[in-house]
Structure formats: C-alpha cells, structure tokens
C-alpha cells in the first residue's frame, strides 16, 4: 500500500478563494482524521470519521470549513472563503481497527493564503 495520499502537496491561493484538500486513506482503514498544524497551535484535530460518518467536528474552526467522506477511499476538506489565518499544514491520517490503533499520516498539504 502507498500509505495515506494527500493532494495537493502545496497550495497557494488568494484570500476569498475556495480551497479543496484531498485525502486517500489506507485501504481497509475505517477511521480518518483531518489535522491542522501551525507553530503557534501545534497539531489540532479538526474532524474525524468512523466508517465514513463524521463522529466529532468540534475542532472545525468556523463554518467556512467543511469536510466530507463520500466513501471509504476518499475524503475532502474544503475552506470557503479562505483567509490568510488559514495558512498552515493540513494533515490527513487513517487508522485501522482492533489492536493496531496507530494512526498513519499523509505527507500533508501546505496551504498559503495571501
């Protein structure tokens, strides 16, 4: 397996534009997490899904952020409209079930909003 795949790796956009980040989890994993990492706030959990269902979205900062998981192999995180303070590295992670409860992270998407 190629691991968790995120795209794009880098995104530069202007304030007010819509941004969509994509994630393909590891096949067979049933949990998916979206995190945001900044120097000031560290690694923050935004939302996580179990079996494609959003379980906890309390970390989503504002209504401008939305996430979907239409099937077990794909998830998106959308920001609209984007603002400069959204600039960060966004990570997607997936996790299997049972005793193997480690999370596997993608390479991240570095978002810059100018």
Partner 1 sequence: SQKIEQNSEALNIQEGKTATLTCNYTNYSPAYLQWYRQDPGRGPVFLLLIRENEKEKRKERLKVTFDTTLKQSLFHITASQPADSATYLCALADATGGFKTIFGAGTRLFVKA
- Residue ranges binding partner 1 (CB under 8 A): 4, 31, 33, 35, 41-43, 45, 48, 50, 55-56, 91, 93, 95, 101-108
Minimum distance between the CB of residue 81 and partner 1, rounded to whole angstroms?
Answer: 27
Nearer Cβ to partner 1 (17/38): 38
Q: How far apart are CA 30 and CA 89, in angstroms?
A: 23
Beta-bridged to residue 54, according to DSSP, are 49
Q: How far apart are CA 109 and CA 96, in angstroms?
A: 22
DSSP string, 20-73: EEEEEPPTT--EEEEEEEETTTEEEEEEEEETTEEEE-TT--STTEEEEEEETT
Minimum distance between the CB of residue 34 and partner 1, rounded to whole angstroms?
Answer: 12
Nearer Cβ to partner 1 (3/84): 3
Nearer Cβ to partner 1 (4/111): 4
Minimum distance between the CB of residue 72 and partner 1, rounded to whole angstroms?
Answer: 17
């Amino acid at each position: 397996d190629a691991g968790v795949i995120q795209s794009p790796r880098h995104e530069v956009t202007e304030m007010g534009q819509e941004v969509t980040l994509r994630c393909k989890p590891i096949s067979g994993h049933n949990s998916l997490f979206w995190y945001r990492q900044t120097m000031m706030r560290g690694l923050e959990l935004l939302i996580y899904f179990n079996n494609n269902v959003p379980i906890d979205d309390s970390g989503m900062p504002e209504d401008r952020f939305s996430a979907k998981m239409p099937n077990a192999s794909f998830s998106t995180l959308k920001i609209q409209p984007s603002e400069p303070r959204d600039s960060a590295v966004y990570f997607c992670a997936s996790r299997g079930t049972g005793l193997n409860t480690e999370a596997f992270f993608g390479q991240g998407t570095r978002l810059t909003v100018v």
